[in-house]
């Protein structure tokens, strides 16, 4: 197995259900990867800054594909950004809020994740779990920047239905309900797979030299950028159907254990 690029989703994949990981085992894996000229990428809906906060010094020389693949950050510098034009994003947000005003809608920009001030406290805590820079507003009209992505959280689990109701926007933006509680909306043609293709082009690494790990429906696009497709045991059945390997679940450190086995690391 000739692997030069490792790509891992975070929530439900690399991180356990408490958003934690074994830093010692990952550091050892990363050191072994560096000895073999293998690059590591985190690919996640989380803000890049939030990923840096979680993994600390281990972010060094690690590519971070954040905000649902709309940004690439490497060693403190953003090397790629994809945005939705401001007025179009606000139009879509209004349609979503009209469908169900109780849904939490985040408008993510280079400055941070904008969320309404009157959002429930439980939802605010959830937002801070994925976003380091959160900005509270009274109205989405206050946002002047173009939007990296729109994220929708529905605690009642109706996101797949909401995604169907905004399907008419699919000719203008990329829409994915990654599970029952989350929708992500990015610029047209921007998804985990296409953004990983950008890193592959930059590093001159092919999909045939890439292994990807995931658990959600948005990782189906990620798998398109990798020959070796690993779904976690806790993954959605639809993703498992696309995989050529199933790893032990995220709470058992499945990403690191699988890589140590496949790459013959001690």
The structure tokens listed for 17 are: 């259900």
Is residue 58 pLDDT above 80, yes or no?
A: yes
Q: Is residue 227 within a helix (H) or strand (E), and if so which, with residue range?
A: none
Please give the angle made by the CA atoms of 73, 195 and 108, to the nearest 5 degrees.
Answer: 60
Q: What percent of the chain has pLDDT over 70?
A: 100
Evaluate whether 2 touches 263 at the Cβ level (below 8 Å). Answer: no
Is residue 50 pLDDT above 80, yes or no?
A: yes
Is residue 61 pLDDT above 90, yes or no?
A: yes
Quick one: average pLDDT of 171-199? 96
The tens digit of pLDDT for each residue in 224-264 reads 999 999 999 999 999 999 999 999 999 999 999 999 999 99
The tens digit of pLDDT for each residue in 74-91 reads 999 999 999 999 999 999
Q: Residue 8: which of 203, 237, 266, 247 has the closest Cα? A: 247
pLDDT of residue 1: 78
Output the average pLDDT for the chain: 96
């Amino acid at each position: 197995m000739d692997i030069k690029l490792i790509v891992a989703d975070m929530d439900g994949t690399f991180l356990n259900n408490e958003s934690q990981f074994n830093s010692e085992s990952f550091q050892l894996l990363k050191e072994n990867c560096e000895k073999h000229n293998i690059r590591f990428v985190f690919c996640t809906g989380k803000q890049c800054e939030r990923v840096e906060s979680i993994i600390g010094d281990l972010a060094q020389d690690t590519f971070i594909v954040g905000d649902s693949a709309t940004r690439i950050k490497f060693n403190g510098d953003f090397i790629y950004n994809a945005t939705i034009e401001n007025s179009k994003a606000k139009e879509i947000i209004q349609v979503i809020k009209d469908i169900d005003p109780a849904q939490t809608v985040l408008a993510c920009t280079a400055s941070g994740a904008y969320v309404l001030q009157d959002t429930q406290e439980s939802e605010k805590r959830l937002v801070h779990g994925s976003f380091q820079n959160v900005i509270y507003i009274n109205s989405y009209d206050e946002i002047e920047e173009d939007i990296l992505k729109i994220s929708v959280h529905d605690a009642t689990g109706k996101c797949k239905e909401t995604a169907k109701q905004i399907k008419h926007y699919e000719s203008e933006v990329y829409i994915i309900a990654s599970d029952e509680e989350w929708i992500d909306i990015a610029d047209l043609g921007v998804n985990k797979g296409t953004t990983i293709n950008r890193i592959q082009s930059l590093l001159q690494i092919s999909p045939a030299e890439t292994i990807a790990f995931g658990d959600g429906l948005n990782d189906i696009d990620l798998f398109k950028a990798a020959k070796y497709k690993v779904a976690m045991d806790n993954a959605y059945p639809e993703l498992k159907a696309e995989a050529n390997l199933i790893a032990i679940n995220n709470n058992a450190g499945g990403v690191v254990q699988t890589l140590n086995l496949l790459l013959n690391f001690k």
